C-alpha cells in the first residue's frame, strides 16, 4: 500500500512540474520577443533574466524527475518479464495421456482443455475425461496455456548388478557317485497308478485321498529286497493336474507309464507320453489290470505304436511288463525292469558342495508354517542350510522323510520335507543353497526387482496397445461424423446413448442375477494351481458368470466364510428416524452402501455387534425422495423393513443376499 501511495505522489508531483514548465516556457518566449526592447527597459530585462534562471532550475528538476520515473518504469518492466519467465510453469506430459491427466498435470480443470481445443480439428463432442490425446493436441493445449512443455521419459533406474544365484558348473567326474533313480508313475485317471505304488511301499495312500483321487504330488523312497532304492513321484493322473505332471517329468529319470489293459490308450495317457518326450525321459510300460477277464494287453501295445511308444515285442526299446496292482502280480518284474534301465543310464551325482534341488510340492501346515517337499539333485542338505527357491528363502530348521521321521541330512535323489521357509515357494521352483541369510535376501530382492521390471514392460506395452486401439476407434468415429455439423453429431450421439441405456441396464440385471462368486482354498500350492487352471477353461459364461473373489493355500478360515457371506454387498446405518403413514410410525434407517449394492427385491439381514437380529424383506428403498430398486456402492439411501418392531441403531449393518435352490446345470465339461 505504501508503494502505491508513493507512486501516486510521484505522478502528482510530475504533473505539477510539467504544468509549471509549460507556463514558464510561455514566459521565456515572451521574454525573447521583448528582448529587442531591452535597451529601453533595463529594469524589466533584469527581472526577466531572474525568471529565466528560475525556469532553468525547474526544467532541470522536471527532467530529473522524468528520468527517475522512466528508470523505475523500466526496472518494473524488467522485473515483470523476469517474474513472468520464472512463473512460467513446466508441465510434464507423455504420449497417450488422457484429458483428465493433462488437466491434472497443468493444475487446471477439464473445461480448460476443452476450451483450448475449441477451434482445432479435434471433435470436442467425442472427448471424454478418459479420452487419450494425440501428441499434436497436447502441444496445442500447452502452447495456449503459456506453459512450458516437458516430455516425460521412462525413469531409468541405475543399472543394477545381477545378484541372482545360479547353478554351479559341473564338477570333477571323479567326485560323482551312483545315485538312486527318481521315477514318476504317470497315466490316465483310474488306471491304477496309486494302487500300483501302494503295492511297492505297502501303504494305503488311496484310502486317505478324497474320493480315491490323488490330490497332490507325493515323493517316496522305496527300498527293494535286492537292496536297491527307488524314489517314486506319485503324480496325479487326473486331467486337472496336467501342469503338475509336467513338473514331475522334469525332475525324473524314468517314467513308468501305466495303461489299463481293459481300457487302452486314453487322453491323459497321450499327455503323459508327450511330457516324457519333452523332458527326454525313457519309459517303462506297465500294462495294468491284466487280471480282468476283458483285459487285452496286446491291444494296448498296438495303440501305443501310434504315439511312437514301441515295445520290445514289436522291435522297439520300451520294456513292457504285464501287472496287476490289485493282486500284486508281477510287481517284482516291474521293479527289476526299472532298476535295469537305471543301470543302463548310469545315474550319478555330486554329494559335495552347495545343494541343488527342485520343489515338488509346497503347503502351509498349522504350527510349522510353510513346508516343501523337495528332491535333492546335487550336494547334501543339512540342518541350518540357507536355501533360496523362486522369491522365497529358508534357513532349514527341520527335515523329515516320507514317513514324517526327522532326518539330519538328505543326499541326491532323496525326497525330503523342509521346514523353515519365510514364504511359500511354488511347486517346480529350483532350490539353490547360498552362503548366508544376507545373500539369500539379496537374491530374493533381485528376483523381485526383475519381476517388477518385467511387469513394467508388460504394462507399458499394454498401454501402448490400448492407446492405438483408442486412436483407431477415434479415427473411425471422426470419419463417421466427418460430414455432419456439430448439431447433427450431437443429436445422433444423443439418440445412440438413449438406445444403449436400456440395453446396458438389461445386461447389468442379467449379469447380476447370473453371477456366481467363488472362493477357492487348496491344501497345497500345486492343487490350487490346477484348480485355477480348470477355471481358465470355463466356457459357459453365457449361462452363469464365475467371479473369483479370493484364493489361497490353507484351511478355510472364518475370514473366508465372512467374505463369502457378505460378498453380495452391505451397508452401514448412519442415522435413524421415523415417518408417519396414516396412524403408523414407521422406523427408517439412513444408510450408506459400503460395498456391492442393495437390491430391493432381494432378502436382507440386520446385523448388530456381529449377530443377525433380523432377516426379511424391505417395504421401501429410497434415494432422496425417489423410490429406487437398486442402490450402488457409495450412495446414500433410506430404507424400512417389513418388521415394525425392529429398532435401528447407528452402527448396525444391513446385508443384502439372495437365497436360491436350483439344480446346477451347465454345458461346461471340466474333465471329471
> Mapped to the 3 state alphabet, what secondary structure does 435-484 carry?
CCHHHHHHHHHHHHHHHHHHHHHHHHHHHHHHHHHHHHHHHHHHHHCCCC
* pLDDT for 214 beyond 70: no
- Residue extent(s) of CATH 2.40.30.10 domains in the chain: 354-442, 586-655
CA atoms of 280 and 273, how far apart (whole Å): 10
Residues 393-412 pLDDT 10s: 999 999 998 888 899 999 99
* CA-closest candidate to residue 303, choices 292, 314, 294: 314
* pLDDT for 657 beyond 80: yes
* pLDDT for 211 beyond 90: no
Greater confidence (496 vs 299) lies with 299
**CATH class for domain 175-347?**
alpha beta
Q: Over pLDDT 70: what percentage of the chain?
A: 72
Kindly report the backbone phi and psi dihedral angles of residue 443, in degrees, each rounded to the nearest multiple of 5, phi listed first: -65, -45
pLDDT for 306: 93
Residues 294-346 pLDDT 10s: 999 999 999 999 999 999 989 999 999 999 988 888 988 999 999 999 999 99
pLDDT band at 545 (very low <50, low <70, confident <90, very high): confident
**CATH class for domain 586-655?**
mainly beta
pLDDT band at 36 (very low <50, low <70, confident <90, very high): very low
pLDDT for 432: 96
Average pLDDT over residues 651-672: 75
* pLDDT for 7 beyond 90: no
Cβ neighbour number for residue 196 with a 10 Å cutoff? 24
pLDDT for 564: 56
Residues 118-158 pLDDT 10s: 777 777 777 778 787 888 888 888 888 888 888 775 444 45
Residues 370-396 pLDDT 10s: 999 899 999 999 999 999 999 999 999
Sign of the torsion angle spanned by Cα atoms 572, 574, 579, 585: positive
- Minimum mean pLDDT range among 2-11, 111-120, 290-299, 528-537: 2-11
Kindly report the backbone phi and psi dihedral angles of residue 309, in degrees, each rounded to the nearest multiple of 5, phi listed first: -105, 100
- The pTM for the full model equals 0.58
pLDDT for 30: 45
Name beta bridge partners: 542.
none
CA atoms of 353 and 338, how far apart (whole Å): 29
* pLDDT for 541 beyond 60: yes
* Domain 354-442, CATH among 3.40.50.1000, 2.40.30.10, 2.170.150.20, 3.40.50.720: 2.40.30.10
SS3 string, 522-587, reads ECCHHHHHHHHHHHHCCCCCCCCEEEEEEEEECCCCHHHHHHHHHCCEEEEEEEEEEEEECCEEEE
- Minimum mean pLDDT range among 215-224, 299-308, 383-392, 575-584: 215-224
Beta-carbon-side half-sphere exposure of residue 68 (alpha carbons within 13 Å): 11
- Residue extent(s) of CATH 3.40.50.300 domains in the chain: 175-347
Judged by phi (left if over 0) then psi (alpha if -120 to 50, else beta), residue 280 lies in: left
CA atoms of 193 and 203, how far apart (whole Å): 13
Contact call for residues 651 and 572 (beta carbons, < 8 A): yes
CA atoms of 325 and 327, how far apart (whole Å): 6
pLDDT for 51: 46
Amino acid at each position: 500500500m505504501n508503494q502505491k501511495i508513493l507512486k501516486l505522489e510521484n505522478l502528482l508531483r510530475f504533473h505539477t512540474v510539467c504544468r509549471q514548465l509549460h507556463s514558464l516556457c510561455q514566459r521565456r518566449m515572451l521574454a525573447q520577443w521583448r528582448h529587442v526592447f531591452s535597451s529601453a527597459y533595463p529594469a524589466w530585462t533584469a527581472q526577466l533574466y531572474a525568471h529565466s534562471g528560475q525556469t532553468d532550475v525547474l526544467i532541470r528538476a522536471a527532467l530529473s524527475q522524468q528520468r527517475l520515473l522512466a528508470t523505475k518504469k523500466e526496472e518494473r518492466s524488467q522485473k515483470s518479464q523476469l517474474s513472468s519467465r520464472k512463473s512460467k510453469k513446466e508441465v510434464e506430459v507423455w504420449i497417450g495421456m488422457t484429458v483428465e491427466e493433462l488437466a491434472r498435470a497443468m493444475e487446471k480443470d477439464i473445461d480448460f482443455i476443452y476450451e483450448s481445443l475449441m477451434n482445432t480439428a479435434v471433435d470436442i463432442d467425442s472427448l471424454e475425461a478418459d479420452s487419450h490425446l494425440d501428441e499434436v493436441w497436447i502441444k496445442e493445449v500447452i502452447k495456449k496455456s503459456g506453459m512450458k512443455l516437458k516430455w516425460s521419459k521412462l525413469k531409468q533406474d541405475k543399472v543394477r548388478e545381477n545378484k541372482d544365484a545360479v547353478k554351479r558348473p559341473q564338477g570333477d567326474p571323479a567326485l560323482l557317485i551312483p545315485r538312486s533313480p527318481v521315477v514318476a508313475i504317470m497315466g490316465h485317471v483310474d488306471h491304477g497308478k496309486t494302487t500300483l505304488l501302494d503295492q511297492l511301499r505297502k501303504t494305503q495312500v488311496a484310502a486317505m485321498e478324497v474320493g480315491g483321487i490323488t490330490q497332490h504330488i507325493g515323493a517316496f523312497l522305496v527300498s527293494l529286497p535286492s537292496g536297491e532304492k527307488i524314489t517314486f513321484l506319485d503324480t496325479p493322473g487326473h486331467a486337472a493336474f496336467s501342469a503338475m505332471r509336467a513338473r514331475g517329468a522334469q525332475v525324473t529319470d524314468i517314467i513308468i507309464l501305466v495303461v489299463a489293459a481293459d481300457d487302452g490308450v486314453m487322453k491323459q495317457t497321450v499327455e503323459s507320453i508327450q511330457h516324457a518326450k519333452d523332458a527326454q525321459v525313457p519309459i517303462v510300460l506297465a500294462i495294468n489290470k491284466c487280471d480282468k477277464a476283458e483285459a487285452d494287453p496286446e491291444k494296448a501295445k498296438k495303440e501305443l505304436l501310434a504315439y511312437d511308444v514301441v515295445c520290445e515285442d514289436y522291435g522297439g526299446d520300451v520294456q513292457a511288463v504285464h501287472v496287476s496292482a490289485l493282486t500284486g502280480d508281477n510287481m517284482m518284474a516291474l521293479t527289476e525292469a526299472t532298476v535295469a534301465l537305471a543301470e543302463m543310464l548310469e545315474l550319478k551325482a555330486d554329494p559335495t558342495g552347495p545343494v541343488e534341488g527342485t520343489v515338488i510340492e509346497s503347503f502351509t501346515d498349522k504350527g510349522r508354517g510353510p513346508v516343501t517337499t523337495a528332491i535333492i539333485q546335487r550336494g547334501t542338505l543339512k540342518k541350518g542350510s540357507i536355501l533360496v527357491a523362486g522369491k522365497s528363502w529358508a534357513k532349514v530348521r527341520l527335515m523329515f522323510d516320507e514317513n514324517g521321521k526327522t532326518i539330519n541330512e538328505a543326499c541326491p535323489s532323496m525326497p525330503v520335507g523342509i521346514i523353515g521357509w519365510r514364504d511359500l515357494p511354488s511347486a517346480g521352483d529350483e532350490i539353490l543353497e547360498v552362503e548366508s541369510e544376507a545373500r539369500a535376501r539379496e537374491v530374493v530382492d533381485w528376483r523381485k526387482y526383475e519381476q517388477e521390471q518385467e511387469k513394467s514392460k508388460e504394462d507399458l506395452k499394454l498401454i501402448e496397445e490400448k492407446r492405438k486401439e483408442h486412436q483407431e476407434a477415434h479415427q473411425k468415429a471422426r470419419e463417421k461424423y466427418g460430414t455432419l455439423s456439430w448439431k447433427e453429431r450431437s443429436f445422433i450421439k444423443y439418440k445412440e446413448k438413449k438406445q444403449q441405456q436400456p440395453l446396458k441396464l438389461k445386461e447389468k440385471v442379467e449379469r447380476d442375477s447370473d453371477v456366481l462368486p467363488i472362493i477357492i482354498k487348496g491344501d497345497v500350492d500345486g492343487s490350487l494351481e490346477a484348480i485355477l487352471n480348470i477355471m481358465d477353461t470355463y466356457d459357459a459364461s453365457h449361462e452363469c458368470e464365475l467371479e473369483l473373489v479370493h484364493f489361497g493355500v490353507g484351511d478355510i478360515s472364518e475370514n473366508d466364510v465372512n467374505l463369502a457371506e457378505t460378498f453380495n454387498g452391505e451397508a452401514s446405518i448412519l442415522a435413524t428416524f421415523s415417518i408417519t403413514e396414516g396412524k403408523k410410525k414407521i422406523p427408517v434407517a439412513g444408510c450408506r452402501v459400503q460395498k456391492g449394492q442393495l437390491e430391493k427385491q432381494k432378502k436382507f439381514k440386520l446385523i448388530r455387534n456381529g449377530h443377525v437380529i433380523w432377516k426379511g424383506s424391505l417395504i421401501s428403498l429410497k434415494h432422496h425422495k425417489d423410490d429406487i430398486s437398486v442402490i450402488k456402492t457409495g450412495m446414500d439411501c433410506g430404507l424400512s423393513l417389513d418388521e415394525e418392531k425392529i429398532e435401528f441403531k447407528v452402527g448396525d449393518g444391513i446385508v443384502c443376499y439372495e437365497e436360491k435352490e436350483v439344480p446346477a446345470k451347465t454345458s461346461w465339461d471340466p474333465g471329471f
